Chains A and B, each alone.
Chain A
Amino acid sequence: MKRAVRFVVVAALWAGPLASAGPGQGAPAGAPPSGVVTPAADSALEARTSAVASQLRCPVCQGLSIQASPSELAQQMRSVVRDQLTAGRSPADVQAYFVSKYGEWILLSPAPRGINLIVYALPILLVLGGLLVVVLAVRRWTTAPADSATH
């Protein structure tokens, strides 16, 4: 009987700390409690904030993103970006939020659809057109002496 009681007491002493560890017992030693922002998580959030903010135009600047602008409004907009990312919104959601408030103008790179496609297609078409002109001109220069020689 005494042995049985001793066994129960020892088992309780072993089980106690494990039970009190609760759901976090699988966490590595030294892990911070949930809700605490670690430096790594903080820098990851800053990197995501920076990535989103780099795509948004500063409304009070000339051609600067809210990431690059030191203006007060840009700082406040970055803060909104950070808060929304922290709240679990995706970068696309945050971008959509700003587009819903400012229109597509707020995007430094317009979405490649509709009339915006002109912006993406025109440079390629111009380069191809230029190449065509060069090829035609070179062919003409190289064939002209032969033609004239036959006449």
Chain B
Amino acid sequence: MNWRRASLGVAAALPVIALLAWGMTRDPKDIPSPLPGKSAPSFALSVFAPGQQPLARTVGDTVRLADLRGQVVVLNFWASWCLSCRDEHVTLSAVARQYAGKPIQFLGVLYNDEPVSGTAWIKEMGGQSYASLNDPGARTAIDYGLYGVPETFFLDVHGRVAYKQTGPASAQVLARVADSLLAVAEKDGAPTNRNR
């Protein structure tokens, strides 16, 4: 056996095997968003599902991101046809209620769906504490580089995207990110006891 030739073959094959092995450890669906750290895309969307007191908004009102400056914003993209959205709905709704009275806004954004279907879904799910907005033509979704639903964006008090959650958000993730952003907001001197 030619040891020199064999070792050359192994040396040539090893990088390829290592590259393939590294590829196997990666989730092809986990595509990093370039948005965190950047200014959040602005939007002006109308409310189609009002939410519940004390977080309720009037149906038909326009919510502008620019008007929410100084508050943490949790933007959850969802759809009535999305099965994973069912998994996180109760958690999101409960966490939003827990944070009522703090400078944080939870908002749903309907993705590729009809408001009628969205409203029926919310009713079927037992209600939703925060308001949901309609996004015709998915313009805001595309502005946020959406791949699918659910996806949740956390915006800091300065209007920057701080974190993006792909897939259902757990109560732990929601609380951890919200608390850290609220802590930064308090440190920066943002109001700490504001509802809307």
Chain A positions within 8 Å of B, measured between CB atoms, are 59-60, 72-73, 76-77, 79-80, 99-103, 105
Chain B residues with CB under 8 Å of A79's CB are 137
Indicate whether B112 reaches chain A with its CB closer than 8 angstroms: yes
B32 and A59 within 8 A (CB) = no
Is the CB of B167 closer than 8 A to any CB of chain A? no
Given contacts A100-B34, A101-B34, contact A72 B112 (CB under 8 A): yes
Chain B positions within 8 Å of A, measured between CB atoms, are 31-35, 41, 112, 137-139, 141-148
Enumerate 11 A-B pairs (CB-CB under 8 Å) in ascending A order. A60-B148, A73-B142, A77-B142, A80-B139, A80-B142, A101-B34, A101-B35, A101-B41, A102-B31, A102-B147, A103-B31
List, in ascending order, chain B residues with CB within 8 A of A80's CB: 139, 142
In whole angstroms, what is the CA distance A101 to B147 when docked?
A: 11
Given A60-B147, A77-B142: A103 in contact with B137 (beta carbons within 8 A): no
How distant is the Cα of A105 from the Cα of B34 in the complex, in angstroms?
10
In Å, the complex CA distance between A86 and B119 comes to 35
Distance in angstroms between the alpha carbons of A101 and B143 in the assembled complex: 6
In whole angstroms, what is the CA distance A100 to B161 when docked?
13
Closest to B145 in A: A101
Query: A18 → chain B, closest Cβ, in Å?
Result: 46
B82 to nearest A CB, angstroms?
Answer: 12
CB pair B138–A103 under 8 Å, yes or no, is no
Instruction: Identify the interface centre among A72, A80, A100, A102: most chain B CB within 10 Å of its CB.
Output: A102
Instruction: Say how far B186's CB is from chain A's closest CB, in angstroms.
Output: 31
Known: A101-B41, A101-B145. 20 other contacts (CB 8 A): A59-B146, A59-B147, A60-B147, A72-B112, A73-B138, A73-B142, A76-B112, A76-B139, A79-B137, A80-B139, A80-B142, A100-B34, A101-B35, A101-B142, A102-B33, A103-B31, A103-B32, A103-B34, A103-B145, A105-B31
